[in-house]
Chains A and B, each alone.
Chain A
Amino acid sequence: MAEITLEEIIKPENLVYTKTKLMTDKVLSYCPGCGHGTAHRITMEVIEELGLEEQTIGVAPVGCSVLAYEFMNIDMQQAAHGRAPAVATGIKRVWPEKIVFTYQGDGDLAAIGTNETIHACNRGENIVIIFINNGIYGMTGGQMAPTTLPGMKSSTSPYGRDVQTMGNPLKATELVAQLPGTYFVTRQSVHTPRNVRKAKKAIKKAFENQRDGKPGVSFVEIVSNCNSGWKMTPRDSNVWMEENMFPFYPLGDIKVDGQLL
């Protein structure tokens, strides 16, 4: 095999990958191995590829990704915990020609912000919701989330989630798919290159829907790891996710073009 020299590698025609200019150079604050960074990157790549940089306003509420505005190089609003869909509604209603998205954790979207989420979805707001479900409250140190699996340990369910007393995990994505105001509902992951490509396709479809004025919310759940909160190595957390999260939160499209599959 012919050797490729350093000079050749850096030639523009040999470029195979470049960081999107819609991610800043700031070092990510996420734990090494966490899915948030990948989810940020593909979201920003999609916005760049669709040429929507100048029209897009992002909303990131409280959670590990509250600092998304440090990394996403577009106009951003930080929102209170759970309130992103209302904030996004406010923006979209007064700037209907803009592209508006939220980027919410599972505690944010499916516990404190359930009301805002369901009603924004039910009103059919023309926004994109990106929902990072890691089954835990990452930011506050690994407490039980509405999505924590039965028997799963967290700092507030140290002996495992007892559904009799702590309630059942909530499948927010299946729930919003039932509402007439959602147009596209899908569940993805970003833990392998193949899944990253699929998730990016889904996010692209979501933004295209909004750009093309398709009626209603495009909702992309990403089942993700929280290696710190789960107290595992990044690799183990991905294996655990495949073995435990995916059976409960199966990947794939749930609603496409307004039709339940």
Chain B
Amino acid sequence: MSELKLMKGNEALAEAAIRAGADAYFGYPITPQSEVIEYLMAEKPFDRTGMVVLQAESEIAAINMVYGAAGAGKKVMTSSSSPGISLKQEGISYISGAELPCLYANVVRGGPGLGTIQPSQADYFQSTKGGGHGDYHQIVLAPASVQEMADFVKDGFDLAFKYRIPVLILSDGVIGQMMEKVDLFDPIPRLTNDEIIERYPWATTGKKSGTERRIITSLDLDSHKMEKHNQKLQAKYKEITEKEVRYELIDCDDAEYIFVAYGSSARIAQKAVKLARAKGIKAGLFRLITLFPFPSVKMFEMCGKGIKGFLAVEMSAGQMVEDVRLAVKGCSKVEHFGRFGGVVHTPEEVLEALEQKIIGG
């Protein structure tokens, strides 16, 4: 049953995994997302739905457990925070190459290195431009509320299986840790083994005698075949770019200045829009929901309609701003503002940056 609850973002993600009918979660603790595995272990989904929860010996092991289970047709996920996500990159590259569906979440903290346990959005490049080795992309969903931490688990699994691709929920320490009201979706039953075997003929579930064996691999020593495989992947990314872009426009109809932001920065920028409007500045917010695919077409389209400038607001030294620049193709002014290294900017700072860098600059 749909159910209203007060929860932390990390807990909502965990509860949503159970409700989405996940077959397994493999993880390793790291702040600020340890509540995910703690919640799952306390909640005993093995009793509730039969879902497997296993604490692995490392993030490397966890993502490879995901690889194995996903290759066998099951609905599986993992989660971590920045340093742990770096360790998973090898596995994510293999999962992308082998075209396996899976979901994972990064509750981002400040880096580089061990960095800080405070919130950050400095893993944007890693999330949207590949992260591991090879020419690949993954679908990246950026929740800006506890509600979306839950909802994107369901959507993420659907997209993962639709395209046989890893889907990343790119959250941050603010969204992971804060408590909000969340309307939890109705539980979806896990697929039965027979349903899995029927729906996913590519999965290694044990081959019937006399039939073709299934092979999960990212390897082909024939480079011409590997090029073909890569072309197929690129065609998939193109289709995703055409069909799966998601964003939200807030107060943009009459806006002259646009904040572009995602995740907790979008919440802060939304407040900055209010402060700006109170001062008579016509500001709006372009909230990104999918970071890959990036809503470049829409952004470019808006550009010609009286927009005097875009301010990319992100808790990083300037990563997402590069995609904004690529999207608007020089037709409008684009600047960046963000605190980083674990510092969260205030709406006042964001407005000040708009006034100085875009309006006054």
Interface residues of A (CB under 8 A from B): 53-57, 59, 66-67, 69, 72-80, 83, 86-91, 93-95, 98-99, 115-116, 119
Alpha-carbon distance A114/B215, docked complex (angstroms): 25
What's the least CB distance linking B99 to chain A, in Å?
Answer: 13
Q: Are B208 and A94 in contact (CB under 8 A)?
A: no
Residue contact A89 to B207, C-beta cutoff 8 Å: no
Kindly identify which residue among B58, B66, B206, B217 contacts A115, using a CB–CB cutoff of 8 Å.
B58
Contact residues in B for A87 (Cβ distance below 8 Å): 64-65, 67-68, 71
* Interface residues, chain B, with chain A CB atoms under 8 Å away: 23-24, 26, 52, 54, 56-58, 60-62, 64-72, 74, 76, 90-91, 94, 98, 193, 204-209, 213-219, 221
Are B64 and A116 in contact (CB-based, < 8 A)?
Answer: yes
What is the minimal beta-carbon distance from A88 to any residue of chain B, in angstroms? Answer: 6
Asked whether, in the complex, the Cβ of B204 is within 8 Å of the Cβ of A76, the reply is yes
Separation of A88 and B69 alpha carbons in the complex (Å): 8
> Given A57-B206, A75-B205, A90-B76, do A83 and B215 touch, yes or no (CB 8 Å)?
no
Contact between B67 and A90, CB atoms less than 8 A apart: yes
- In the complex the two chains form, is A86's CB within 8 Å of B60's CB? yes
Residues of A within 8 A of B62 (CB): 86
Contacts of A119 in B (CB 8 A): 56-57, 61
Closest CB in chain A relative to B69 CB, distance in Å: 4
Min CB distance, B225 to chain A, in Å? 13
Contact A90 B204 (CB under 8 A): no
Chain A residues whose CB sits within 8 angstroms of the CB of B218 once the complex forms: 78
Q: Is the CB of A55 within 8 A of B76?
A: no
| B residues near A83, Cβ cutoff 8 Å | 60-61, 64, 67, 91
Known: A78-B216, A91-B72, A119-B56. 6 other contacts (CB 8 A): A53-B207, A73-B213, A86-B56, A86-B67, A90-B70, A94-B72
Q: Are A91 and B208 in contact (CB under 8 A)?
A: no
| Nearest CB in chain B to that of A66: its residue | B219
Q: How far is the CA of A59 from the CA of B66 in the complex (A)?
A: 14
Given known contacts A74-B213, A76-B213, A89 and B68 CB-to-CB distance under 8 angstroms: yes
Bound form: Cα–Cα A119–B61 in Å = 9
Chain B residue at minimal CB-CB distance from A61:
B64
Shortest Cβ distance from residue A254 to the other chain B in the assembled complex, whole angstroms: 23
Best-buried of A78, A86, A90, A91 by chain B (most CB within 10 Å): A90
Set of chain B residues within 8 Å of A74, measured between Cβ atoms = 206-207, 213
Task: Choose among B57, B67, B193 the residue that contacts A79 (Cβ–Cβ < 8 A).
Answer: B67
Flag if B219 contacts A90 (CB, 8 Å): no
Residue among B52, B64, B72, B214 with the highest chain A CB neighbour number at 10 A: B64
Q: Are B206 and A90 within 8 A (Cβ)?
A: no
Q: Which residue of B lies closest to A97 (CB)?
A: B193
User: How far is B248's CA from A250's CA once the two chains are assembled, in angstroms?
Assistant: 67
Q: Which of these, A54, A76, A94, contacts B215 with CB under 8 Å?
A: A76
Most buried by A among B52, B65, B66, B91: B65
**Which A residues touch B70, using CB under 8 A?**
90
Cβ contact within 8 Å between B213 and A89: no
Query: Chain A residue with minimal CB distance to B70?
Result: A90
Determine if B65 and A89 form an interchain contact, defined as CB atoms under 8 angstroms apart. yes
State whether B217 touches A78 (Cβ < 8 A). Answer: yes
Among residues of B, the one whose C-beta sits closest to the C-beta of A24 is B213
Chain B residue at minimum C-beta to C-beta distance from A78:
B217
What would 7 A/B residue contacts be, using CB atoms closer than 8 Å?
A72-B213, A75-B205, A77-B216, A78-B217, A83-B91, A90-B24, A90-B71
- Which A residues are in CB contact (< 8 Å) with B90? 80
The complex places the Cα of A119 from the Cα of B26 at a distance, in Å, of 14
Interface centre among A53, A75, A79, A89 (most CB of B within 10 A): A75
A69 to B214, CA, bound (A): 9
Q: CB-CB < 8 A to B52: which residues of A?
A: 93-94
Which of A53, A89, A119: most chain B Cβ within 10 A? A89
Query: A93, B54: Cβ atoms under 8 Å?
Result: yes
Q: How far is the CB of B25 from chain A (nearest CB, A)?
A: 11
Known pairs A75-B204, A76-B216; A93 contacts B209 (CB<8 A): no
A93 CA / B206 CA spacing, docked (Å): 15
Q: Which residue of A lies closest to B217 (CB)?
A: A78
Whether B94 contacts A93 by the Cβ 8 Å rule is no
8 A-B pairs with least C-beta separation: A90-B68, A90-B65, A86-B64, A87-B68, A75-B204, A78-B217, A90-B69, A119-B57
Contact B215 A79 (CB under 8 A): no
